[in-house]
Amino acid sequence: MPEIGIRQLKNEASEILRAVREEKVEYIITLRGQPVAVLRPLETIVADADAILDMAADVFAGLDAADLADVETAMQRRPDFFGESATTAP
């Protein structure tokens, strides 16, 4: 994955975004030579998230009620990671 500095990103934003959209190029964005972000096509992020959710569904499908309760308890201990809404009933 090629690296681009913040100055290059600023100066060539249109061209870089066009490459991301049309050629599916991914970039590591650097600040003073240190990686700080990744620029990827949105559809690859969505596809990755969908794949993760599919795997999670397969894992949870094999759990009984007691195991699911343990998972919920673990999630409640980490609202910083899972978010407050992950453990509240709709």
DSSP string computed for 12-50: THHHHHHHHHHH---EEEEETTEEEEEE--HHHHHHHHH
Residue 20 has pLDDT above 70, yes or no: yes
- Are 48 and 34 in the same domain? no
Q: pLDDT digit string (tens) for 44-87?
A: 876 667 778 778 777 778 788 888 788 788 878 887 877 766 55
Q: What is the pTM of this model?
A: 0.54
Q: What is the pLDDT of residue 75?
A: 79
- Are 50 and 79 in the same domain? yes
- Are 27 and 58 in the same domain? no
- Are 32 and 59 in the same domain? no
Range(s) of the domain holding residue 73:
44-87
- Are 58 and 78 in the same domain? yes
- Are 23 and 48 in the same domain? no
* Number of folded domains that form the chain: 2
- Are 48 and 27 in the same domain? no
Interval 6-26 mean pLDDT: 95
